[in-house]
Amino acid sequence: MTDTKILEEASQNLSADLAALRDDITKLTASVTKLVKAEASATSDSVYGAVDAARQKLSDSASDAKHRLAGASSDLEATIERNPLIAVLIALATGLIIGLLSRARK
């Protein structure tokens, strides 16, 4: 009978240990799930922040280029108005050079 009693106690201890192990695995799974969700959220926030920063930088660069182009256009118009003869001669020379270059390729 003592062997039976020892076996019953060992069986109960094993069952208790298995139940505790199941609980530990469940808690560990929950902790890992929370950690993965937190990391995924932080990563997505970081990516969204980087995309917004890149979008803003691109918008600023485009706006700056637009202002520079408008300024260069205004400067060019003012130069042409001050020196119309030189502007016509430059246009004529440019046309001739382009014509000669395109003719030489044939």
pLDDT in tens, the chain (106 residues): 577 888 888 888 888 989 999 999 999 999 999 999 999 888 988 899 899 999 999 999 999 999 999 999 999 899 999 999 999 999 999 999 998 888 865 5
Whether residue 61 is found in the same domain as residue 83: no
Q: 38 and 84 share a domain?
A: no
- Residue 10 CA to residue 4 CA, distance in Å, equals 10
Q: How many domains does the chain have?
A: 2
Tell whether 19 and 67 lie within a shared domain: yes
Domain extent for 99: 74-105
Take residue 40 and report the two structure tokens written for it: 């995924």
Task: Find tokens 């959220």 and name the residue.
Answer: 41
pTM, to two decimals: 0.47
